[in-house]
Amino acid sequence: MTKRLYSKALALLFITVFVSGCAGIHSSRDLVTDVHFERIASDTASIRNIYLHRTPSGMDLHGELTRKSASRGAIPGHLHVTLKDAQGKFLSGADVDYKRHNKQSNHSHFSISLPIALESGSTIEIKHMASERSDLTEHPKWTNSSQH
């Protein structure tokens, strides 16, 4: 009886792990690979682990900002995200905030929905602006080419 209980528990564990893996943020088939990223670091932080994926409503951009020094704490500033077409023409831009998972972390994460779906060959420029911004909201205010 113990062996049967053990095998049921093991089967339940495998099913749980499988379902958890399937319920991850997004599958690899949703990743957009034909859009280029241009990362512009500041003196205090660098941008890494950038990925873009398709969603039912468009495209979402995710990434991480890491302190260049080993110290911990909030990274001052914000990100400026610029969307460009395949010819390098400005499409849209916004200032974006980022957040740490906890106070001991030396890196921050950002996640935003893009206002437009980018075509193959487009570029997303992500620049760390080390100056503070207190007027940033949770939902970025995108400017388009007519406002630029």
Q: Of the ranges 13-17, 60-64, 92-96, 104-108, which one carries the lowest mean pLDDT score?
A: 13-17
* Helices H / strands E in the chain, number of each: 1, 8
The three-point CA angle 125-120-118 to 5° equals 60
pLDDT digits (tens, 9 = 90+) for 58-95: 899 999 999 888 777 788 899 999 999 999 999 999 99
Alpha carbon 91 to chain centroid, angstroms: 19
Query: What pLDDT does 126 receive?
Result: 97
Dig out the tokens for 140 from the structure: 């970025």
pLDDT, greater one: 89 or 1: 89
CATH number, domain of 108, equals 2.60.40
The strands making up 90-96's β-sheet, listed across from edge to edge, are: 36-40, 123-129, 78-84, 90-96, 143-144
Give the pLDDT confidence score for residue 29 in this predicted structure. 60
* 90 found inside a domain: yes
Whether the CB-CB separation of 52 and 36 falls below 8 Å is answered with no
Residue 95 lies in a domain: yes
Q: Strands (DSSP E) along the chain, which ranges?
A: 36-40, 45-55, 58-67, 78-84, 90-96, 107-113, 123-129, 143-144
Closest CA to 60 of 129, 3, 118: 118
Q: What is the pLDDT of residues 20-49, one digit of tens each?
A: 544 445 455 688 889 999 999 999 999 999
Q: Note the pLDDT of residue 23.
A: 46
Does residue 6 sit within a domain? no
pLDDT of residue 67: 87
Does residue 41 sit within a domain? yes
Put simply, whether the predicted model's pTM sits higher than 0.85 gets the answer no
pLDDT confidence bin for 106, thresholds 50/70/90: confident
- pLDDT the model gives residue 31: 85
Provide the number of structural domains found in the chain: 1
Which CA distances in Å does 120 have to 33, 86, 137? 9, 7, 29
Give pLDDT, residue 120: 93
Residue 65 has a pLDDT of 93
Q: Is residue 21 part of a domain?
A: no
Q: Is residue 72 part of a domain?
A: yes
In a domain, 75, yes or no: yes
Query: Does residue 5 fall inside a structural domain?
Result: no
Q: In the prediction, which pLDDT does 105 show? A: 79
Print the domain residue range for 41: 27-137+140-144
In this predicted model, what pLDDT tens digit does every residue of 127-141 receive, in sequence order? 999 887 777 777 788
Neighbours of 72 (CB within 10 A): 13
